């Protein structure tokens, strides 16, 4: 099974460098990386070029003009670029642990998409990581416990790998709530069948919920990656949420009508 990791980013080259370091440290190295760049400057391109030149990752970058938050569109461009069987979506400020790709490969199952969770990191810890680039993926358990006690991370339990029975992972089979594209995996053919992300969602919010809901409408169920494949989310200022009300109305209409295909989706680029 070929895997593509699509990393969405916008003008955070220091964070992206830390994220790529995490992917270089994966125990399962059989994947490609596509950096989905929503209009960043040359600093981001330089980070990708340096990673490619080192030869430690199979990596490509797809870019679009900066016209505000258009994560749905750049993810579609990246999705159209890959031929991988299975796609993992994440963000350029979400650090993977060494078993992240291997866990998603293990959880992949036909007829299901997989939704993981995240651990939020405090501002001070995030700034330290970006300044020093310490090997976060190699930190021992005692260090994470100390960080939790100092309130530098918001949760501790998701860091533990627990072999949950399949029946428990499938409990949220028909739930779209809580699905986030900072940690989401699906079969490429399922993504194409629903026409990828809906680019009607411009501005921050709910384009990931829309995708999850349309996958459910199409008959693809949800599996949980909790206690298997978390990501460590670097702190950032809250995004502009001025589009959120309109996006909620769009999502509510989708919930009522049962539509499966994006009105403006990945077929624009294929």
* Per-residue pLDDT tens over the stretch 193-209: 999 999 988 877 789 99
Q: Give the ranges where 150-183 is alpha helix by DSSP (H).
A: 166-169
The pTM score is: 0.95
Number of domains in the chain: 1
Spatial neighbors of 158 by CB under 8 A, at least 6 apart, are 117, 118, 119, 226, 227, 230
Instruction: Give the C-alpha separation, 125 to 139, whole Å.
Output: 13
Range of the domain at 36: 3-268
- Tokens describing residue 18: 């830390």
Q: What is the pLDDT of residue 270?
A: 82
Res. 171 pLDDT band, cuts 50 70 90: very high
Q: What is the pLDDT of residue 250?
A: 85
Name the more confident of 135 and 147.
Answer: 147
* Per-residue pLDDT tens over the stretch 75-117: 999 999 999 999 999 999 999 999 999 999 999 999 999 999 9
Residue 93 main-chain phi, psi, to 5 deg = -125, 20
Res. 133 pLDDT band, cuts 50 70 90: confident
CATH number of the domain enclosing 166: 3.90.550.10
| Radius of gyration for the chain, computed over Cα atoms and rounded to the nearest angstrom | 18
């Amino acid at each position: 099974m070929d895997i593509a990791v699509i990393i969405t980013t916008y003008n955070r080259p220091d964070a992206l460098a830390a994220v790529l370091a995490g992917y270089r440290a994966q125990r399962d190295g059989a994947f490609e990386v596509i950096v989905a760049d929503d209009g960043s400057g040359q600093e981001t391109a330089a980070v990708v070029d340096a990673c490619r030149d080192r030869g430690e990752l199979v990596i490509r970058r797809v870019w679009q003009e900066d016209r505000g938050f258009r994560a749905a569109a750049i993810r579609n461009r990246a999705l159209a670029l890959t031929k991988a069987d299975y796609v993992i979506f994440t963000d350029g400020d979400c650090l993977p642990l060494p078993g992240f790709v291997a866990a998603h490969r293990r959880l992949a199952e036909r007829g299901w998409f997989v939704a993981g969770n995240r651990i939020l990191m405090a501002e001070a810890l995030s700034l330290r990581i970006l300044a020093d680039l310490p090997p976060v993926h190699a930190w021992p358990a005692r260090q994470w416990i100390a960080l939790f006690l100092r309130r530098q991370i918001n949760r501790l339990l998701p860091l533990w790998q627990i072999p949950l029975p399949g029946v428990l992972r499938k409990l949220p089979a028909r739930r779209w709530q809580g699905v986030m594209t900072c940690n989401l995996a699906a079969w490429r053919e399922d993504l194409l069948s629903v026409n990828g992300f809906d680019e009607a969602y411009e501005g921050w919010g709910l384009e990931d919920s829309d995708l999850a809901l349309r996958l459910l409408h199409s008959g693809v169920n949800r599996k949980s990656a909790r206690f298997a494949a978390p990501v460590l989310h670097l702190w950032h200022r809250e995004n502009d949420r001025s589009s959120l009300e309109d996006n909620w109305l769009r999502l509510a209409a989708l919930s009522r009508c049962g539509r499966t295909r994006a009105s403006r989706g990945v077929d624009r680029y294929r």
